[in-house]
């Protein structure tokens, strides 16, 4: 979320959070660098902190101007982010596809996954992330394979690859054993 108003970051547990990357990457980041530099220069020249200040006369862009820029940039940022995620998913699926079916790279016999969602209704798969690669994979529901335990969010399971579909960029894994139960942490 991009905003000119500080908001808390729930996952990091911070009352306020800001992130700015290299000004060479995105136009929005260069604008933020200009704003930050102007504020630092103002503090240095006046010797006073600008914390909780509402003054804008020293900034290259007013809050209204920054809000307008954000509104124009956000759709582009989402598109770039989605394209980046899709590219990463594509290449990871290619890695697993070529390693699993054509033995072009060595894969371990088993992997570790962390369960992040449980199935709803008749869905046969549990949403998991392959810890070693930070890659989402689908795990067959353990109870459908005769396990006494159902998968719970937060569980850690040992799995093996069962199928790789490079076209839809999905890897299907089969549970081997429950490593750690979520509520035992």
Residues 87 and 147 in one domain: no
In a domain, 3, yes or no: no
Is 161 found in the same domain as 94?
no
162 falls within a domain? yes
Count Cβ neighbours within 10 Å for each residue of 43-71 and write b for 16 or more, e otherwise: eeeeeeeeeeeeeeeebebeeeebeebbe
Residue 180, domain CATH: 2.40.50.140
How confident is the model at residue 2, as a pLDDT? 76
Residue 81 pLDDT: 87
Domain count, the chain: 2
Looking at residue 184, what is its pLDDT?
A: 62
Domain match, 58 and 96 both: yes
CB contact at 8 A, 31 and 61: yes
Q: Kindly state whether residues 117 and 163 are assigned to the same domain.
A: yes
Cα-based distances in Å from 62 to 33, 35, 50, 56, 70: 14, 9, 15, 6, 12
The tens place of each residue's pLDDT in the chain, 185 residues long, gives 778 887 888 878 888 888 888 888 788 889 999 999 999 999 999 999 998 898 999 999 999 999 999 899 889 888 988 999 999 999 999 999 999 999 999 999 999 999 999 988 888 999 999 998 999 999 999 999 999 989 999 999 999 999 999 999 999 999 999 999 987 65
Quick check: is 10 in a domain?
Answer: no
Domain membership flag for residue 135: yes
Residue 137 and residue 72 in one domain: no
Which of 64, 79, 102 marks a domain boundary?
A: 102
Distance between the two ends of the chain, CA-based, in angstroms?
A: 31
Q: How far apart are CA 124 and CA 144, in angstroms?
A: 8
Three-state secondary-structure class, residue 161: strand
For residue 45, what are the domain limits? 27-102
Confidence at residue 123, expressed as pLDDT on a 0 to 100 scale: 87
Does residue 15 lie in a domain region?
no
């Amino acid at each position: 979320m991009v905003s000119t108003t500080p908001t808390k970051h729930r996952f990091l547990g911070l009352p306020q959070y800001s992130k700015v990357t290299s000004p060479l990457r995105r136009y929005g980041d260069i604008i933020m660098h200009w704003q930050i530099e102007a504020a630092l220069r103002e503090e240095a020249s006046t010797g006073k902190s600008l914390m909780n200040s509402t003054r804008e006369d020293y900034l290259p862009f007013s809050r209204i101007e920054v809000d307008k820029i954000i509104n124009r940039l956000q759709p582009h940022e989402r598109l770039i982010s989605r394209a980046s995620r899709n590219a990463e998913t594509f290449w990871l699926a290619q890695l697993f596809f070529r390693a699993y079916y054509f033995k072009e790279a060595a894969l371990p016999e088993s992997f570790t996954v962390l369960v992040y969602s449980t199935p709803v209704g008749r869905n046969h798969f549990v949403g998991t992330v392959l810890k070693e690669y930070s890659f989402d994979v689908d795990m067959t529901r353990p109870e459908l394979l005769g396990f006494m335990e159902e998968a719970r969010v937060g569980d850690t399971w040992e799995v093996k690859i069962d199928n790789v579909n490079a076209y839809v960029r999905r890897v299907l894994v089969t549970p081997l054993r429950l490593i750690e139960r979520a509520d035992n942490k």
